[in-house]
Homo-oligomer: A and B are copies of this chain.
Amino acid sequence: MTRGAGRLRTAATTRLSRDARPRVAVDTILFAFRDHQLQCYLVELARGEAAGQWAFPGRLVRIGEKLDEAARADLAASTGLRDVYLEQLFTFGDPTRDPRTHVVSVAYMGLTAAPETVSACSAKYAQGRWCGVERLPRLAYDHPQMADYALNRLRAKLEYTNIALYLLPPAFTFAQLEELYATVLERELDRRNFRRRILASGLLRRLSQERRGAHRPAALYEFAPRSLRTIEML
């Protein structure tokens, strides 16, 4: 999001002195795989010109803050989530992207495996909600571009890294993994070929437990190194 401080400014001089340099913000596109969909977290802006519009959570960066720490702290404030995978995406600097003032925004992609633990949103926003990436409402500012950029990055990284580990619970079945891939990449995958390739990458470890349910039990797996690895997945 881009700031709406909400404070009125009365004169151009005020604006000029306050705006001597562009400001720096971070905005985070937080993804989760929920309800058989890739979803992202939206907040409804409560203040400023864009009040009532939906956007991604974010805020200005303060003096002395690292960018990723600002993004992480803001995400904790907006969603209550603490363990989020964060990756810098791109910096959007068009001076007109926020009609009020020149804000340069560093966009981050966030991934969480625990979307249900999101708590009441910060007072800064009217509300927050998860929304399927196929059904996004009109977003404020240049946030539609950010959404595109984040989605492309996530799709690309599914193909050559084990980034899916940040979207899945610690133990999961092959069916879950395959559904994640098929959904995000929007294409069907051959179950046998998918299995073979993923196993060949050596990044999964089979657990001794199984998931029991209405039907035949399914073997559970975990990601073996729990950190990002670059390797051909597809």
Contact = CB atoms under 8 A, between A and B. Distances in A.
Count chain B CB atoms within 10 A of each CB in A93, A95, A102 and give the residue with the most: A93
Given A23-B21, A61-B22, A66 B90 contact: no
B104 A67 contact: yes
A62 B95 CA distance: 10
A106 interface: yes
B91 A106 contact: yes
B94 A91 contact: no
User: Does more than half of chain A's interface fall in helix, strand or loop, or is it mixed?
Assistant: loop
A65 B94 CA distance: 7
A90 B93 contact: no
Contact of A93 (B20, B66, B94): B66
Interface string A81-106: 00000001011011100000010101
A150 interface: no
A94 B60 CA distance: 15
B60 A21 contact: yes
A51 to B, nearest CB: 23
> Contact size class for A?
20 to 34
A107 to B, nearest CB: 10
A24 interface: yes
Given A24-B21, A24-B22, A93 B64 contact: no
Nearest to A93: B67
Contacts of A62: 21-22
Contacts of A60: 21
Given A21-B24, A90-B88, A64 B106 contact: no
A157 to B, nearest CB: 13
Nearest to A70: B93
Interface in A1-53: 19-24
A65 B21 CA distance: 10
